[in-house]
Structure 1
Amino acid sequence: MNEAKTYDVVIIGGGVIGLTIAEQFLQKNIKNICLLEKNNEVMLETSSHNSGVIHSGFDATPGTLKAKFNVQGRHLFEKKYLNKNAQFHWENANSYILAFTKDEIEELHKLYEQGIKNGLEKSSMKIIEAEELFKINPFLNRRILKALQVTTSKIIDPHEFGNFIFTKAKELGLKYHLNFKVISIEKSKTNWIIKSDENRIINAKYIINASGVRAEEIARLVEKNPLFKIKTRRGQYLILDQSEHKFATNDVFFLTPSKHGKGVIVASLLDGRVLVGPNAEDNVPKDNIHLVTEEGLKYVRKIGKKINSKINLDRVVSVTAGSRSINELTNDFFIDQSQEVDNFFHVAGIQSPGLSSSPAIAEYVFKKYQELKK
Structure 2
Amino acid sequence: MTEKNNINYDVIIIGSGIIGTNIAYELSKFELKIALLEAKKYPASETTTGNSGIIHCGFDPSPGKLKAKFNVLGHKLWTENIFKKIIFPRQKAKSVVLAFDSEEEKIIYDLYKRGIINGLDPKNLSILSKKELKLAHPDVSEEAVLGLECLNSWVVDPVKAAYAFLEISRKNGLEFFSSSKVISISKNSQNFFLIKTESQNNPFFQSKIIINAAGHYADEIGKIAGFGEFSQKQRRGQYLILKNHPNIKNIYFLVPSKYGKGVIVAPRPDGNILVGPTAKENISKNKVNCLDFDLNEEIQKIGHKIIPSLDYSETVFALAGSRPIEAEKSDFVIKPAFNDPNFIFAAGMQSPGLSASPAIALEIVNFVKNRIDLVKKTELVETIEYI
With the shorter chain as reference, the TM-score category is over 0.9
The 8 Å contact of residues 82 and 90 in structure 1, kept in 2 or not, is answered as no
Q: Which amino acid aligns with 1:170?
A: R
Q: Which amino acid aligns with 1:177?
A: F
Superposition deviation, residue 35 in structure 1: 0.2
Equivalenced residue count is: 368
- Flag the 1:225–1:211 CA change in 2: closer, same or farther, 3 A: closer
- 1:132-151 correspondence to structure 2 within 5 Å: 132-151=132-151
- Whether 1:153 and 2:158 are equivalent positions in the alignment is no
- 1:291-302 correspondence to structure 2 within 5 Å: 291-302=290-301
- 1:208 aligned residue: 211
- Whether 1:88 and 2:88 are equivalent positions in the alignment is yes
Q: Distance in 2 between matches of 1:255 and 1:30?
A: 46
The 8 Å contact of residues 156 and 270 in structure 1, kept in 2 or not, is answered as yes
- 1:61 aligned residue: 62
Displaced runs of 4+ in structure 1, greater than 4 A? none
Q: Deviations over 1:4-57 (max 9, x none)?
A: 111000000010110010111111x14301000011111111012112111000
Superposition deviation, residue 198 in structure 1: 4.2
The 8 Å contact of residues 227 and 337 in structure 2, kept in 1 or not, is answered as no
Q: Distance in 1 between matches of 2:41 and 2:177?
A: 9
Q: Distance in 1 between matches of 2:41 and 2:325?
A: 24
SS of aligned partner of 1:261: coil
The 8 Å contact of residues 223 and 340 in structure 1, kept in 2 or not, is answered as no
Q: Distance in 1 between matches of 2:77 and 2:31?
A: 20
Q: Distance in 2 between matches of 1:342 and 1:92?
A: 39
Q: Distance in 2 between matches of 1:223 and 1:101?
A: 50
Q: Distance in 2 between matches of 1:336 and 1:256?
A: 31
- Flag the 1:66–1:37 CA change in 2: closer, same or farther, 3 A: same
- 2:47 aligned residue: 46
- Whether 1:269 and 2:272 are equivalent positions in the alignment is no
Superposition deviation, residue 154 in structure 1: 1.0
- Flag the 1:210–1:30 CA change in 2: closer, same or farther, 3 A: farther
Identify the match of residue 219 of structure 1 among 222, 225, 229.
222
Alignment TM-score, normalising by the size of structure 1: 0.95
- 1:288 aligned residue: 287
Q: Which amino acid aligns with 2:43?
A: V
Q: Which amino acid aligns with 1:101?
A: D
Superposition deviation, residue 224 in structure 1: 5.5
Q: Which amino acid aligns with 1:213?
A: H
- 1:193 aligned residue: 194
Q: Distance in 2 between matches of 1:182 and 1:301?
A: 40
Gaps of 5+ in 2: 374-387
Q: Deviations over 1:286-318 (max 9, x none)?
A: 121111102332221121111111111231111
SS of aligned partner of 2:278: coil
Q: Which amino acid aligns with 2:67?
A: K
Q: Which amino acid aligns with 1:63?
A: G
- Flag the 1:251–1:224 CA change in 2: closer, same or farther, 3 A: closer
- Flag the 1:170–1:373 CA change in 2: closer, same or farther, 3 A: closer
Q: Distance in 2 between matches of 1:299 and 1:31?
A: 49
Q: Which amino acid aligns with 2:218?
A: A
Q: Distance in 1 between matches of 2:182 and 2:44?
A: 17
SS of aligned partner of 1:57: coil
The 8 Å contact of residues 233 and 282 in structure 2, kept in 1 or not, is answered as yes
The 8 Å contact of residues 222 and 341 in structure 1, kept in 2 or not, is answered as no
Alignment TM-score, normalising by the size of structure 2: 0.92
Q: Distance in 2 between matches of 1:86 and 1:333?
A: 25
Identity %: 38
Gaps of 5+ in 1: none
